[in-house]
């Protein structure tokens, strides 16, 4: 869900030198939407949930947007950048889609973003979270509709942890940019408030044995631990944290992915009580959120994860924008302007949501806790809400972007 910094900077330089793209030719017939997701390989389950989210909204809308028929053209990106580039070209040059949305891993999304930079095809990214795509490395026709920047969700949790009374915290995270950005967002705000980040641990993706890290975490005398984990690493870390005896000793805070439904639906009591922060809480009592969750369970027999929720909300957002321009999906400039100006309300996101000037949503962020439902399943219930959270937190965007991006080396931890 993130990208390599060096590659991104190359993309940014190319963007500045790239010629203006020509508008798409007028089309007749249905609005054609290119959907890209990993439908094979280890991420196939998440990819299927992505497609389910889009399909669910389109079917609820009678397979129409702004009075026009809708045709979904779905491609498997294979979690591979080269495959993603090939499939993006097929969608744009052969299928003649009006716009694209999707991709899960940022290396696949970056490949697509680099391609559409030259074609001008609108590309909406509700899952790819790399900070730079809506900050220093933004591309005009790549918009994070219903998505989030990686550090955006971690900033409020750092503030909450300090106000909760935690004074000393350690972090552990996956050793790649997505992990670096989320840990930095948490550590910066927590330490700037007065907290002490005692130590940070980084581990490779697909770590099977966390005991060396858990042994060290247990000995630090911290008040809580912040864990940035996704996928199978999240499952294993939470299981081993409990079996190591730490669950009852040290409160566990998590990035939103750690307690996403894609993780906790496979877990039991070991996930109960974990506090995380996110723009979506499936256990919220907001009417639109409740209706979405109930319908998703009815259709797919599972509580929605980030993947299905994000794609559903993205499709809803674009549909509302199309209403504003009379369904003229072929008018790229008009579509992009409408998407940027749209305020999405009555959606699973909760309160109305708008994009900032850089193409990233400003959200209410929930501090949420994983709790057990009456049916024995687990979900995330809001404890507290931080209203209108920007990707820049409470910092000036100009000052923020003059500084170096978050990285393993740049965690912005205040000492003393």
Q: Give the pLDDT confidence of 182-218 residue by residue, as tens digits.
A: 999 999 999 999 999 999 999 998 899 999 999 999 9
DSSP 258: G
pLDDT of residue 4: 39
Q: Is the residue at 415 inside a domain? A: no
Confirm whether 135 is domain-assigned.
yes
CB atoms within 10 A of CB 117: 20
- pLDDT (tens digit per residue) in 107-150: 899 899 999 999 999 999 999 999 999 999 999 999 999 999 99
* Residue 413 within a domain: no
Encoded tokens for 204: 């490779």
Query: What span, in angstroms and rounded, lies between the C-alpha atoms of 325 and 322?
Result: 5
Angle at 351 between CA 100 and CA 191, to 5 degrees: 90
Higher-confidence position of 306 and 351: 306
**Residue 88: which H helix or E strand, with range?**
helix 81-89
In a domain, 410, yes or no: no
- Does residue 408 register a pLDDT over 80? yes
Indicate if 313 and 267 belong to the same structural domain. no
Same domain, 186 and 278: yes
Query: Do both 36 and 157 map to the same domain?
Result: no
Same domain as 274, residue 295: no
Is position 22 within any domain?
yes
Same domain membership, residue 194 and residue 102: no
Strands 64-65 and 123-124: unpaired
- Give kind and range of the element (H or E) at residue 69: strand 68-76
Percent of residues, the chain, with pLDDT higher than 90: 88
CA gyration radius for the chain?
A: 21
- Strands 354-355, 361-372: pairing is antiparallel
CA distance 287 to 310: 18
Domain count, the chain: 2
Q: What's the rounded mean pLDDT across residues 349-360?
A: 93
Check pLDDT > 90 for residue 160: yes
Structural tokens at position 407: 């990285």
Q: For residues 196 and 250, state if they share a domain.
A: yes
Nearest residue to 404 via CA among 7, 2, 9: 9
How big is the CA angle at 160 (ends 375 and 145), to the nearest 5 degrees?
A: 70
For residues 143 and 165, membership in a common domain is answered with no
Residue 412 lies in a domain: no
State the residue range of the domain holding 29: 5-149+288-362
CA angle 285, 291, 292 (to 5 degrees): 105
CATH of the domain at 120: 3.40.50.2300
Residues 213, 327: one domain?
Answer: no
**3-state secondary structure at position 98:** coil
Q: Check whether residue 249 and residue 327 sit in a common domain.
A: no
State whether the Cα torsion 142-146-147-151 is positive or negative.
Answer: positive
Is residue 48 included in any domain, yes or no?
yes
- Rounded to whole angstroms, how far apart are CA atoms 169 and 251? 10
Angle subtended at Cα 406 by Cα 352 and Cα 144, rounded to the nearest 5 degrees: 30
Domain assignment of residue 92, yes or no: yes
> Do 100 and 29 fall into the same domain?
yes
Cβ-Cβ contacts under 8 Å for 298 (sequence gap 6 or more): none
Average pLDDT over residues 165-179: 96
Q: Are residues 251 and 393 in the same domain?
A: yes
Q: Is 44 exposed, middle or buried (0-12, 13-18, 19+ CB in 10 A)?
A: middle
Same-domain status, 194 and 319: no
- Nearest Cα to 344, choosing from 327, 362, 331? 362
Mean pLDDT of all residues in 67-73: 98
Q: How far apart are CA 105 and CA 150, in angstroms?
A: 13
Mean pLDDT rounded to a whole number for the chain = 92
**405 closest CA partner among 185, 127, 199, 110:** 185
Given a contact cutoff of 8 angstroms between Cβ atoms, the answer to whether 289 and 281 are in contact is yes
């Amino acid at each position: 869900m993130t990208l390599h910094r060096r590659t991104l900077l190359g993309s940014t330089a190319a963007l500045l030198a790239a010629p203006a793209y020509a508008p798409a030719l007028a089309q007749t017939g249905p609005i054609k939407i290119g959907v890209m997701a990993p439908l094979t390989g280890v991420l196939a389950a998440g990819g299927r949930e992505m497609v389910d989210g889009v399909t669910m909204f389109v079917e609820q809308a009678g397979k129409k947007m702004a009075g026009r028929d809708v045709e979904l053209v779905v491609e498997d990106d294979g979690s591979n950048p080269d495959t993603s580039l090939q499939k993006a070209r097929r969608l744009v040059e052969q299928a003649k889609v009006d716009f694209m949305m999707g991709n899960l891993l940022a290396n696949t999304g970056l490949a697509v973003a680099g391609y559409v930079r030259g074609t001008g095809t609108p590309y909406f990214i509700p899952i790819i979270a790399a900070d730079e795509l809506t900050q220093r490395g933004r591309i005009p026709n790549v918009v994070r509709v219903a998505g989030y920047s990686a550090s955006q969700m971690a900033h409020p949790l750092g503030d909450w942890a300090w106000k909760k009374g935690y004074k000393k915290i350690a972090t552990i995270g996956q050793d790649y940019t997505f992990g670096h950005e989320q840990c930095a967002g948490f550590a910066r705000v927590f330490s700037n408030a007065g907290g002490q980040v005692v130590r940070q641990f980084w581990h490779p993706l697909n770590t099977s044995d966390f005991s060396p890290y858990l042994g060290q975490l247990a000995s630090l005398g911290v008040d809580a631990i912040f864990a940035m984990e996704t996928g199978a690493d999240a499952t294993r870390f939470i299981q081993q944290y409990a079996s190591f005896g730490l669950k009852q000793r040290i409160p566990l805070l998590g990035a939103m992915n750690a307690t996403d439904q894609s993780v906790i639906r496979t877990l039991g009591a070991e996930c109960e009580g974990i506090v995380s922060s996110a723009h979506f809480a499936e256990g919220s009592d907001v009417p639109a959120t409740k209706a979405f969750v109930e319908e998703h369970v009815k259709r797919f027999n599972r509580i929605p994860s980030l993947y299905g929720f994000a794609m559903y909300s993205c499709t809803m957002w674009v549909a509302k924008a199309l209403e504003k321009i009379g369904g003229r999906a072929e008018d790229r400039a008009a579509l992009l302007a409408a998407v940027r100006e749209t305020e999405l309300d009555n959606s699973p996101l909760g309160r109305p949501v708008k994009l900032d000037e850089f193409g990233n949503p400003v959200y209410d962020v929930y501090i949420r806790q994983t709790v057990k439902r009456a049916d024995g399943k687990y979900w995330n219930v809001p404890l507290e809400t931080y209203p209108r959270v920007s990707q820049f937190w409470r910092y000036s965007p100009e000052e923020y972007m003059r500084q170096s991006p978050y990285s393993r080396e740049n965690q912005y931890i205040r000492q003393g």
